[in-house]
Amino acid sequence: MQVTTLSDGHLTLPRSLLFASLDPEAVDQILQARGIAAGPMHPPLNVTLLRHAGRLVLFDAGSGPGFQNTAGQLTAALDAAGVTPDEISHVVFTHCHPDHLWGVLDDFDDPLFPNAQYLMGEAEWAYWFDPNTASTISGDRASMAVGALRRLEVMEERLSRFGDGQEILPGVAAHASHGHTPGHMSFELRDGQQSLLIGGDAIGNHHVSFVQPEWAIGTDQDANLAAKTRLRLLDMLSHDQMQLIGYHLPKGGIGRVEKAPTGYRFISSFEE
């Protein structure tokens, strides 16, 4: 397996979106210790590309042209990697938030990856494909639900669904990591003795969610379940010394997790 990450750019998010329910002084202390300046947050967007057994597989599809102007750079990143969109054989989704799903369509609302098969967890599909979700989800997320449904309708005929623990491609197993969204999935890659977890947004940042993984994060739809999932994954990753790719983690998102005096720490592969 050859695994790399491609940048789709970054987001610009107000701190209140992430940390509104937390003690501002405690959050600032964690962020300042990691050199993160005051003001909006700028999480990177790391799309994983897997080359294996004649397949070119993307995990998530980036933001596309209609989300934020600092994002939607996946096509340029693919070009820099020597890959054209029509060479992508599979697109596997962790979940249906805009920065992971909306990039499946191009500027003309046509499929960007014309030859790809799509794969998504059954629970995630069922939630976002339900037309009632847009009216029952919190008001600030309704447009996300409408945008997700439109893209799922385009992909429906070429999309396969799967459950927890299922081997979806050779060497790639689905790992339920619900909470950030109702059906969020991570993916465990194994090649010989080496293993790696593509974690999506189950561990959504390298600072607060590592130091205090039990704290609620505002972008998690079910914050309590997401915190339990986060703790379980961090414990597994540190205990098993499994590599991690996080969609919003720094420096390409590839690294490992180790225990710290308080919580855990993320060690980027570029720092080792």
Length of the chain: 272
What are residue 229's phi and psi, to 5 degrees? -60, -45
Read off the pLDDT band of 219 (50, 70, 90): very high
CA distance 217 to 92: 25
**Beta-sheet pairing, 2-10 with 44-52:** antiparallel
For the stretch 143-182, pLDDT in tens is 999 999 999 999 999 999 999 999 999 999 999 999 999 9
For the stretch 24-67, pLDDT in tens is 999 999 999 999 989 999 999 999 999 999 999 999 999 999 89
Centre a 10 Å sphere on the Cβ of residue 267 and count the other Cβ atoms it contains: 14
**Beta-sheet pairing, 243-245 with 254-259:** antiparallel
Determine contact, residues 266/197, Cβ cutoff 8 Å.
no
- Residue-level pLDDT at 190: 95
CATH for 172: 3.60.15.10
For the stretch 85-127, pLDDT in tens is 999 999 999 999 999 999 999 999 999 999 999 999 999 999 9
Domain tally, the chain: 1
- Residue-level pLDDT at 153: 97
Residue bearing tokens 């379940």: 225
Question: What pTM was estimated for this model as a whole?
Answer: 0.96
Range of the structural domain that residue 92 is part of: 2-271
Does 271 score more than 80 pLDDT? no
Determine contact, residues 61/101, Cβ cutoff 8 Å.
yes
- Residue-level pLDDT at 270: 82
